[in-house]
């Protein structure tokens, strides 16, 4: 058997091992049950956003030039 055939067979074996390992991993992860969505962020405060928008509206535009 020449070297290229051995490398081809070895590559096929490694590919099969990876494929079977992937399928086993997917089955294990799927077996855990239904996915639960992440909790919503309760630290969001709409008053902070309104205050920061009011400050930004008060500031002059960076590209506005004074008129003569």
- Residues 5-55 pLDDT 10s: 999 999 999 999 999 999 999 999 888 878 778 777 666 555 555 555 555
Quick one: pLDDT band at residue 3, thresholds 50, 70, 90? very high
**Which pLDDT value is given to residue 36?**
79
Q: Would residue 29 count as lying in a domain?
A: yes
Structure tokens, 38: 């992440």
Instruction: State the distance between the two ends of the chain, measured CA to CA, in whole angstroms.
Output: 90
Q: Does residue 62 belong to any structural domain of this protein?
A: no
Number of domains in the chain: 1
Q: What's the domain range around 4?
A: 1-33
Would 63 be classed as within a structural domain? no
Model pTM score: 0.48
Rounded CA separation 23/15 (Å):
12
48 falls within a domain: no
Q: Is residue 3 part of a domain?
A: yes
In a domain, 64, yes or no: no
């Amino acid at each position: 058997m020449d070297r290229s055939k051995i490398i081809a067979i070895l590559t096929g074996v490694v590919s099969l091992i990876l494929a079977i390992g992937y399928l086993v991993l997917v089955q294990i992860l799927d077996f855990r049950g239904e996915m639960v969505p992440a909790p919503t962020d309760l630290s969001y405060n709409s008053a902070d956003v309104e205050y920061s928008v009011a400050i930004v509206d008060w500031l002059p535009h960076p590209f506005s030039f004074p008129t003569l």
